[in-house]
Amino acid sequence: MRLTAALVARRAFQFSSIDGTRLGWSSSSLAICLSSLTALHEEHETELISSFYPFHLTLSGDEFQNKVDLYAGTIRLNPAATALQWLGIMSEVSHNNVITLKNNQKELNHYQSEVQRALGLRVIKGHTCGSEEYHKCMKRLAMESSQNNSSGDEDKSALTISNKKSKIVIESSQTCRRGRLRKNDGSFEVGSGMNCMQILSIIGKFAFTSNRIIEEQSKHQERCKELINRVMDTYGVEKIKRVSSTVTSEQMSQALSILLNKDEAEQRELRGYLAGQSIGIVGRGQLCCLGDDGSIHLPINCS
């Protein structure tokens, strides 16, 4: 139901995508909201541009200042707002806005390629860094790396010991004043106000620890894949996935090991419930429940 309603709404407005996952609503409630959005388009189509592509729509109850983001390419609507309030936001989007967004996206792709070539690692935007702030940061770093290349001043010695599976996460300059290593995934966290040499210095400083964290993660992921296959064979489960990104491979392995360590009688009883089903692993302390997609959600500490 939810997927059908989202597809109809996306086609009506020609959004690149629609995201309502932040609401935490049931499929039926979200479908009603999306159907109302489609009805708005049908009634006021002449007041709106013919295509909103490549904008994507985000439904969120959070308050936000920038409802039409020409850098992130996001249009944000509050599902609790009235249809007229929705219309007021949507009617602000013009063909010139679409052209500006496409140019911003093209420029950002170019800047990112230049920066990643200079730093030797993939670069992504962090949660605390605004889309415009990130765009300006990438532009500045790209210009700086180009100047360094032309003058021969670029120092790549730090890159020789960095792990290419890691990444650089750009956070707000106010949030991240000094670079650090993220212990959960081995990525390098830097502020948007830092220059290339400062970032290279951070990579060199934490490269050894980053390598170790990523190697350990790789082992946990392989172990997790092995346990997933064993649980699927043992219980006749069709699919196993992590519901939240906060659930680590190690935690997934612990939850799956609990299922595999049950005695034959318990396994036989559980097989009657789980055979042919999909399992989603959720965080500690949550209850066993049924997800919107019909999958059975099990917490990592479920015994």
Task: Give pLDDT, residue 2.
Answer: 56
Q: Structural domain boundaries of the chain?
A: 2-93, 102-215, 236-299
Task: Give pLDDT, residue 184.
Answer: 83
Give yes or no for a cis peptide into 54 (omega within 30° of 0).
yes
Higher pLDDT, 176 or 288: 176
* Cα–Cα distance for residue pair 101/75, rounded to 1 Å: 12
Cβ contact 186:167 at 8 Å: no
* pLDDT single digits (tens) 46-83: 999 999 999 999 998 877 668 999 999 999 999 989 99
In sequence order, the β-bridge partners of residue 281 are 242, 298
pLDDT-above-90 percentage for the chain: 57
* pLDDT single digits (tens) 98-149: 999 999 999 999 999 999 999 989 999 999 999 999 999 999 999 998 887 6
* Cα–Cα distance for residue pair 13/39, rounded to 1 Å: 11
Q: Give the C-alpha distances (Å, rounded to integers) separating 51 from 84, 88, 92, 223, 238.
A: 20, 17, 13, 46, 39
pLDDT greater than 70 at residue 171: yes
Phi-psi region of 278 (alpha: psi -120 to 50; beta: other; left: phi over 0): beta
| 173 class by beta-carbon count within 10 Å (0-12 exposed, 13-18 middle, 19+ buried) | middle
In sequence order, the β-bridge partners of residue 180 are 189
| pTM recorded for the entire structure | 0.79
Taking CB atoms within 8 Å and a gap of at least 24, the contacts of 93-96 are: 93/48, 93/49, 93/52, 93/55, 93/68, 94/49, 95/49
* Cα–Cα distance for residue pair 98/92, rounded to 1 Å: 11
